[in-house]
Amino acid sequence: MNWLDWIVLFLTLILIVGYGIYQSRKDRTISSYLLADRSLPWYHITLSVMATQASAVTFLSAPGQAYTDGMRFVQFYFGLPLAMVVLCVTFIPKFHTFNLVTAYEFLEKRFDLRTRGFTSFLFLLQRGLSTGLSIYAPALILSSILGWDILYTNLLSGFGVLIYTVTGGARALSYTHLLQMGIVTLGMFLAGYMVVKMLPPEISFGDALHVAGKMGKTNAIDFTFDLSNRYNVWSGIIGGFFLQLSYFGTDQSQVGRYLTGSSIGQSRLGLAMNGLLKIPMQFLILLVGALVFAFYQFETPPLHFDKVPVGKIQESALAGEYEALEQKHLALQEQKRADVLRLNAALDNQQQSEIDALRSTLSQSEKELQQLRKEASDLLTRATGTTANDVNYIFLRFITDYLPAGLVGLLIAVILLACMGSVASAYQSLASTTIVDFYKRIFAKDKSEVHYVKASRWATILWGLFCMVVAQYASKFGSMIEAVNVLGSLFYGVILGIFLAAFYFRRIGARAVFWGAVLGEIFVVISYVKELTAFLWLNLIGCVLVILFAWIIEKIWPERTGQAGAGE
C-alpha cells in the first residue's frame, strides 16, 4: 500500500464513521436507539439487510471460493427469494402488529418466558460466535498488509467497530449502510473491470470465462440430488430456504433491520427487493473470483497466497522442501499456460476435438496443481504449527499485487466497510436481545429510557469484547464464509422450528415446544459431529425435528386446556 491507498482508505472510513455519529445524535430513547423510531423507508431496509448479510467474509472468501471450488456456491442463495416471500406474508405482519423490539418477545406472547429465554440464548450463542469470525476477516487483511500479529489487528478491527456502534443507534446503522453499499458496489465493479482489463490483449472477457469454465470454475448449476454434496440446486433451494428463513426471520441482527420500517408495506418491499437483488449480486462477486482464476492462468500465482507462513518456512529447516514444491508448481504452471493458449486458439477456430482433448489435459493439470497446493499447505502447517489455509487470501493477494494505487485503498476500505456493516448490526442485535429479553424483562423492569439506552451501550461493549476473543481463535476454521454458515446451520433450524410452531401449529403448547427444541438441538449437534449429512440440511432437520418432537410431546403429555397457544 502506498500513501495514496492510505489516504483513500482513511478518508472513506472517516466519512462513514463521521456520518454515522452525525446521524445518531437524536437517539435518546430505547425505541430510537434500537429501532430508529420505526420511521425508515423500504430502500433503507433493502440496503441495510444486504449490508448486514454481506460481511467482509463475503468479499474476501467468496472470490477465493470461486477460485478454488468454482461458482457453485451461488446455489446456496437459491432459497433466499422464497424465504423473503414467506417473511413478507407471515413474519412481518405478526412482528409489526405486536410492536416488538426483538423477535423473541413474540415467543413469550405465544408460549412462555422459558421458550423466549431459551431461543434468545441460542441466538446470542450463535451470533456471538459468528460475529467473532466476521471480525477476524478484516483483521486478516490488516495482518497480511501491515505484517502485524493477528492479535493486534483483531483488537484494532473489533474496537474500531465497537466505538462506532456504541455511539450510533439503528438510524446511524441504516444511514451508514446506504453509503457502505454504494461504495462496496462501486469497488467490486472496479475490481471486476480491472481483472478483465489486465488479461493478455488476445484474451477477451468471453475467452476468460471459457478458460475458467474448462477448468471447472463456472459450475454455477448442479441439478444432481446428493445429500452429501454441499452445493447443488436442491440443497440451495430446500436447505438454503430454511437457513435464510431462519436467518432473516429469527436472527435479531436482521429482524432489527426491517422492524425499523415505517409500515408493514415498507418493511415488506424492503425484503422483497432483497429477494430480487441478492442472487445476482452474489453471482457477480463469484464471477470476479472466476475471472481472477482466469487471470492467473497467464500470470504465475503464488503456490500459497498467504505471505506470512511462507516467510516463516523460508527461514526454517523445511525451506528446501518448500522450494522444491515451488519449482514443481512453476513448471506445471508453464505447461498449463501453453495449454491454455492452445485452448484459446482452438476455441477461436472452433476445433471441437482439440477443445475436448485440452479440456481433459487442463482438468488433469488443475487436479495436480490442487494436490501441489495441498502439499504446500500441509508443509506450511508443519512448519508454523498452525493450519495454513489460503482461500481467504486469494482475492486480497490479487488486489495488493496487481491493482493500481488508490484502488487498493478503496478495495481494502470496501472490505472494512462490509465488516463494519455486518458487525455493527450484530453488536446491536446482541445488545438489544440481552437488554430487552433478559435485563429489562427479568432483572430491571421499571427503569428510565435513559437507563436502558445506557445499559444497551454497556451490553454492546461487553459483547464486542466477547466477539474479539472469538476472533482470536477464528483461524482454526477453514474458509470463513463456510464456517459462518456451518455455525448458523447448527442453531438456525431449531430456532426456526420454534417460530414456525408458534405461527402455524396452534395446538402445540409452551412445554412441548421447549422440550422439542432441546431434543432437536441435541440431534442437530450429533448429526454434525457424526457427519451424517451436509451442513445445509441441518437447517431443515433442526426445524422439522422441533415441530415433530413438540407435536409428539403435546400428544403424550398435553398441557391443560387454555395453556397451549396462550397469548394468541
Given the rule CB under 8 A, which residues bind other proteins?
42, 74, 78, 81-82, 84-85, 88-89, 209-210, 212-214, 216, 218-221, 223, 233, 263-269, 272, 275-276, 279-280, 283
Instruction: Please identify, using beta-carbon distances, which residue of 238 and 512 lies nearer to other proteins.
Output: 238
Q: Record the cell numbers describing residue 146, joined without a space.
A: 501491515
Instruction: Please identify, using beta-carbon distances, which residue of 167 and 263 lies nearer to other proteins.
Output: 263
Instruction: Please identify, using beta-carbon distances, which residue of 161 and 292 lies nearer to other proteins.
Output: 292
Instruction: Please identify, using beta-carbon distances, which residue of 81 and 409 lies nearer to other proteins.
Output: 81
Residue 37 is classified by DSSP as: G
86, 79 contact by CB (below 8 A): no
DSSP-assigned beta bridge partners for residue 40: 261
Output the CA torsion 16→467→131→447 (10° steps): -80
Instruction: Please identify, using beta-carbon distances, which residue of 205 and 503 lies nearer to other proteins.
Output: 205
Distance CA 199, CA 147 (A): 29
Task: Give the shortest CB-53-to-other proteins separation in angstroms.
Answer: 17
Helix (H, G, I), strand (E, B) or coil at 394: helix
Instruction: Please identify, using beta-carbon distances, which residue of 33 and 296 lies nearer to other proteins.
Output: 296
Residue 566 phi/psi, 5° resolution? -60, 145
Task: Give the shortest CB-41-to-other proteins separation in angstroms.
Answer: 9
CA-nearest of 510, 491, 487, 498 to 548 is 498
Instruction: Please identify, using beta-carbon distances, which residue of 259 and 412 lies nearer to other proteins.
Output: 259
Instruction: Please identify, using beta-carbon distances, which residue of 69 and 390 lies nearer to other proteins.
Output: 69
Q: Return contacts of 312-319, CB within 8 angstroms, 24+ apart.
A: 312/380, 312/383, 312/384, 313/379, 313/380, 313/383, 313/384, 316/383, 318/379, 318/382, 318/383
Distance CA 155, CA 151 (A): 6
Distance CA 371, CA 394 (A): 17
Task: Give the shortest CB-399-to-other proteins separation in angstroms.
Answer: 24
Distance CA 102, CA 166 (A): 18
Distance CA 180, CA 418 (A): 7
214, 358 contact by CB (below 8 A): yes
Task: Give the shortest CB-266-to-other proteins separation in angstroms.
Answer: 5
Instruction: Please identify, using beta-carbon distances, which residue of 218 and 392 lies nearer to other proteins.
Output: 218
Distance CA 170, CA 257 (A): 8
3-state SS, one letter per residue, for 311-340: HHHCCCCCHHHHHHHHHHHHHHHHHHHHHH
Instruction: Please identify, using beta-carbon distances, which residue of 110 and 230 lies nearer to other proteins.
Output: 230
Task: Give the shortest CB-189-to-other proteins separation in angstroms.
Answer: 19
Task: Give the shortest CB-79-to-other proteins separation in angstroms.
Answer: 9
Contacts of 117 (CB under 8 A, 6+ apart): 437, 438
Instruction: Please identify, using beta-carbon distances, which residue of 364 and 448 lies nearer to other proteins.
Output: 364
Task: Give the shortest CB-58-to-other proteins separation in angstroms.
Answer: 18
Residue 261 phi/psi, 5° resolution? -65, 145
Helix (H, G, I), strand (E, B) or coil at 531: coil
DSSP-assigned beta bridge partners for residue 261: 40
Task: Give the shortest CB-208-to-other proteins separation in angstroms.
Answer: 10
CA-nearest of 262, 155, 242 to 540 is 242
Distance CA 38, CA 257 (A): 10
293, 212 contact by CB (below 8 A): yes
Q: 56 burial class (0-12, 13-18, 19+ CB within 10 angstroms)?
A: buried
Instruction: Please identify, using beta-carbon distances, which residue of 96 and 110 lies nearer to other proteins.
Output: 96
Question: Cα dist. 68→212, 290, 370, 396, 419 in Å?
Answer: 11, 9, 8, 14, 23
Task: Give the shortest CB-284-to-other proteins separation in angstroms.
Answer: 12
Task: Give the shortest CB-480-to-other proteins separation in angstroms.
Answer: 24
Task: Give the shortest CB-372-to-other proteins separation in angstroms.
Answer: 24
Instruction: Please identify, using beta-carbon distances, which residue of 190 and 279 lies nearer to other proteins.
Output: 279
Residue 140 phi/psi, 5° resolution? -60, -40
Task: Give the shortest CB-353-to-other proteins separation in angstroms.
Answer: 17
Task: Give the shortest CB-29-to-other proteins separation in angstroms.
Answer: 24
Task: Give the shortest CB-360-to-other proteins separation in angstroms.
Answer: 13
Instruction: Please identify, using beta-carbon distances, which residue of 56 and 87 lies nearer to other proteins.
Output: 87
